[in-house]
Structure 1
């Protein structure tokens, strides 16, 4: 069958507004997807729904569609999005109303069944990650726009691919290929030079959004529209492939994709071929993300300038101690951004950051807005803060649980109102599959002179979050660099370079086809991004910190 061209116009709620119009106008497409959901987004939408029961979906999608629905209809491009969030039926109705107002004949369907909030009292939002076969049912019945709630990010691609190529639920290699393509597309411009370690290799001032050319055998080519910014090469695709993943098995509701089988090759300018992907049966359970309010949070950053920074910090802590005695969680961080004999006041200053959390909003408000500001004329010399503290804001907590496929009523609501139940996968890994054999290490480089230098001179990295855990994917750009990296960057060396991880479980996974190592650091993000437990709550820059650390690197690689 013909190639299926699937593009992406959104990697998160708040991504580039013009991307939908650009993707529709700048080149040919069959399907345009938009990913609007993340763990934090579900919490935000949950709070929206508390204020208005008719809310709970990504409102920017409707505004984008108002500009672009006519163009999509004219070009015959179908739109598949998870912008429905907590209320896919509500967004589907809003799209129909918009189409009627614009006079555009559009068939709108939606997918439901992910909402598990009633089964988890005390949560603001609890949603199962559904697969792509509900989307496929909607498209097979003729839908032009398909709206979903919580599906896996890759389901936005596996659904259209299964519908187009007629794949069944046990065609695991093909489905796994589509999962990999979906994972590469899901974060938008991250696959086309955005957030890329070697960003200076191309012009990334305004990267174009990616698209995948999918084939019936599950292989694909990752590319972008001609003439758009950014660039696509094996490195940008490797970086996105490693993003927010773990070991060799990438489990989902439709299939378990084997990331250790993925092969990437440059297929021309801005074209990377993705092939060799093998798939296995999915696990017997679905992941359910639970979002709840954890309490209230407040913070203030004291600016410590010039001499005696440590003594000034000790004075602040001592003066604040009486006001903080009853607060449940108090965290101090001294960030030494100062330098001796600094040429500017800013570079002569350090930051002392105080973060407090408690179930009582008034307690966190009083502790900082009262006690901290009362020190203005009674504290260390040069006292000031970056910004006055507020009353305290609610923060969220994310965790995941697992339920059997049969516990979820996965339903495709077709454009004509018919409801089609989506059966659980016919085959599931009911037993824990055997561990993937650890691939052999490459031959080490022969001994030679070394030089102390940053890791990032010879390796790229990309990091991200999954609940309270972080992953850091590190890859080498040459075979010789891989021969060194695979032996030098052990889990113990990782802990040495990232002191925050010293007392945490760190698992290293080898992916030799990608010349890559993937490190999973458990618990480094506390209760997840919404809890904002650390300076970089989503671990977005953890990989760049690792690349900036120095170690002994063979001079032959430098």
Structure 2
């Protein structure tokens, strides 16, 4: 089966942004009034691979996203009747197992799967060299295996660890008959895939400018209409909540990126070439995207078993908060035999209290104590029960947020790379035929594009206001790093932001935890945006981070809350 002869845009609808997302989204997308050609879903994240590895260690037949099977049980018959293809990375660590589970649904669907990303059996070529035995080791594959499966008539294609954007790149390449040399078109599809990969985030979910979201129902899930030249329109099913605007699309474009050159397995996408335009209500056009050759290596995500940890949170109320906290810490570790008994200790005093508080809860602070160690017995009840010895012999008002609990295992994320020659990108077709997917022509990362002349900021008096008065933000995690994409809505606002938000200013505004960390700032003038990358703020990744916000989801909103000097001319009446 070849691609459709018509060269209209292919309509790809998303029904999942993570493992655990809204189950009904698949049905809502398939039954919506806007017809789609492909239903896609993203189920994998760095933390998800660790979760699936734990499940597979208990049951070798596991290792895939079981919620996807639930969704397909509900909609696969409808998809077949309507001619809707299904593409998802829900295969995780066991795409063949997921394909078998889908076949057992008895729909008669032609099911293909993509594998080759799992490197646990061949770690030797990974850079830097792998020590020990990681619980997961996955290269990020591209979209050509998906495209080949669709070209051979598959109704459903499930994969392991492909890039999130590949779920759109593969179908678009099949539909339009692209080749690996169509770099600009591929880059355009990468951008469209990046926008819709997180589901309702593109439709008003997690959006900074709350007043713009006049429809406060649960946001709809996004649809990407990808044209033959790679340009696209982002929309959603009519009648669903939220909105699709240049603002919501900008916010998602800035999510979990670094520099303007976005490296991928199929191409390098230049985010500083993207142009956005509001085409109509809930319709945003994306054009102008430029692509260049992909790098000679593939990204690899490694997850190790890090050990065990436990946390207890002590509540402090009223006066002498810092003195009470210091006494509690001193007493507790004396009971435990010293801090040095543990491989790692993290103590954080979280201040929510205020003087002369109008209610009891507003007079409280939290002392959060976390211990880590390879020995589960050391950080289990032996640790948490010890906090109870402070109940009658510690500071006034002692109580905890939870009763003593047991230890839990945690993982450590490590980013790495591998030569393409060490990875066999394989597609298994519905009839069982196995094919190796050829690598595209690669190239070294191109030099950074010269930045256009810095815009001139408004002059005149300033006012002290929260940064969020004129700036939106979207933040997230990439391993141990966090990024905060900050954007404005007018050229004049961007002119000020570009000059204001330097690495030093970002470090100051983000507070003590960023004071000693490397920070990079990248300008994206086409999006009126600045991307701030904070290296190391999440330690060894979300699975081991002890930050209260381990994925940095709230870091952007914290930055927006900081009061700064903004030109009065930008603030309006």
Q: TM-score range by the shorter chain?
A: over 0.9
1:359 aligned to which of 361, 374, 377 = 374
Contact 2:381 2:404 in 1 (8 A): no
The answer for the alignment partner of 2:67 in structure 1 is 60
TM-score by length of 1: 0.97
The answer for the alignment partner of 2:87 in structure 1 is 80
Q: Distance in 2 between matches of 1:59 and 1:161?
A: 26
Matched ranges for 1:163-174 at <5 A: 163-174=174-185
Contact 2:111 2:429 in 1 (8 A): yes
The answer for the alignment partner of 2:13 in structure 1 is 7
The answer for the alignment partner of 1:332 in structure 2 is 347
Q: Deviations over 1:497-550 (max 9, x none)?
A: 012212111111000000000011110100000112311110111000000001
1:176, distance to aligned residue in structure 2 (A):
0.1
Contact 1:337 1:350 in 2 (8 A): yes
Q: Distance in 2 between matches of 1:152 and 1:439?
A: 31
1:514 aligned to which of 509, 520, 527 = 527
Q: Distance in 1 between matches of 2:42 and 2:279?
A: 27
1:199, distance to aligned residue in structure 2 (A):
2.6
The answer for the alignment partner of 1:436 in structure 2 is 449
Q: Distance in 2 between matches of 1:529 and 1:440?
A: 38
SS at match of 1:443: coil
Q: Distance in 1 between matches of 2:363 and 2:170?
A: 55
1:369, distance to aligned residue in structure 2 (A):
1.9
Q: Distance in 2 between matches of 1:218 and 1:204?
A: 32
The answer for the alignment partner of 2:537 in structure 1 is 524
Moved over 6 A (4+): none
2:31 aligned to which of 25, 33, 39 = 25
Q: Deviations over 1:96-116 (max 9, x none)?
A: 111x2xxx3210000010010
Q: Distance in 2 between matches of 1:208 and 1:313?
A: 45
Does structure 1 residue 475 correspond to structure 2 residue 478? no
Q: Distance in 2 between matches of 1:130 and 1:432?
A: 18
Does structure 1 residue 185 correspond to structure 2 residue 189? no
1:551 aligned to which of 558, 564, 567 = 564
Q: Deviations over 1:266-320 (max 9, x none)?
A: 0000000000000000000001110111011110110001111111101101101
TM-score by length of 2: 0.95
Contact 2:385 2:404 in 1 (8 A): no
Contact 1:506 1:522 in 2 (8 A): yes
1:389, distance to aligned residue in structure 2 (A):
3.0
Q: Distance in 2 between matches of 1:333 and 1:439?
A: 43
Q: Distance in 1 between matches of 2:187 and 2:411?
A: 33
SS at match of 1:135: helix
Q: Deviations over 1:240-268 (max 9, x none)?
A: 00000111100100000000000000000
The answer for the alignment partner of 1:385 in structure 2 is 400
Contact 2:381 2:407 in 1 (8 A): no
Matched ranges for 1:82-161 at <5 A: 82-98=89-105, 100=106, 104-120=107-123, 121-161=132-172
Contact 1:297 1:392 in 2 (8 A): yes
Q: Distance in 1 between matches of 2:147 and 2:427?
A: 9
Q: Distance in 1 between matches of 2:449 and 2:26?
A: 40
Does structure 1 residue 218 correspond to structure 2 residue 225? no
The answer for the alignment partner of 2:416 in structure 1 is 401
What CA RMSD, in Å, does the superposition of the two structures yield over aligned residues? Answer: 1.0
Q: Distance in 2 between matches of 1:544 and 1:64?
A: 33
The answer for the alignment partner of 2:129 in structure 1 is none
Q: Distance in 2 between matches of 1:515 and 1:332?
A: 39
Q: Distance in 2 between matches of 1:259 and 1:435?
A: 11
Q: Distance in 1 between matches of 2:405 and 2:466?
A: 40
Matched ranges for 1:303-318 at <5 A: 303-318=315-330
SS at match of 1:495: helix
Q: Distance in 1 between matches of 2:68 and 2:221?
A: 16
Contact 1:399 1:467 in 2 (8 A): yes
Q: Distance in 2 between matches of 1:306 and 1:131?
A: 56
Q: Distance in 2 between matches of 1:235 and 1:357?
A: 41
Q: Distance in 2 between matches of 1:545 and 1:367?
A: 36
Does structure 1 residue 263 correspond to structure 2 residue 275? yes
Does structure 1 residue 321 correspond to structure 2 residue 321? no
Q: Structure 1: where are the runs of 5+ without partners?
A: none
SS at match of 2:276: strand
Q: Distance in 2 between matches of 1:489 and 1:6?
A: 36
1:367, distance to aligned residue in structure 2 (A):
4.5
Greater displacement, 363-372 / 81-90: 363-372
Contact 2:117 2:141 in 1 (8 A): yes
Q: Distance in 2 between matches of 1:268 and 1:438?
A: 31
1:366, distance to aligned residue in structure 2 (A):
4.2
Q: Deviations over 1:128-177 (max 9, x none)?
A: 10000000000000000000000000000000011010000111000000
1:439, distance to aligned residue in structure 2 (A):
3.2
Does structure 1 residue 345 correspond to structure 2 residue 351? no
Contact 1:459 1:475 in 2 (8 A): yes
Q: Distance in 1 between matches of 2:295 and 2:164?
A: 17
1:557, distance to aligned residue in structure 2 (A):
1.3
1:432, distance to aligned residue in structure 2 (A):
4.5
Q: Deviations over 1:49-76 (max 9, x none)?
A: 0000000000011011111111111211
Matched ranges for 1:461-472 at <5 A: 461-472=473-484
2:47 aligned to which of 40, 44, 47 = 40
2:247 aligned to which of 223, 235, 238 = 235
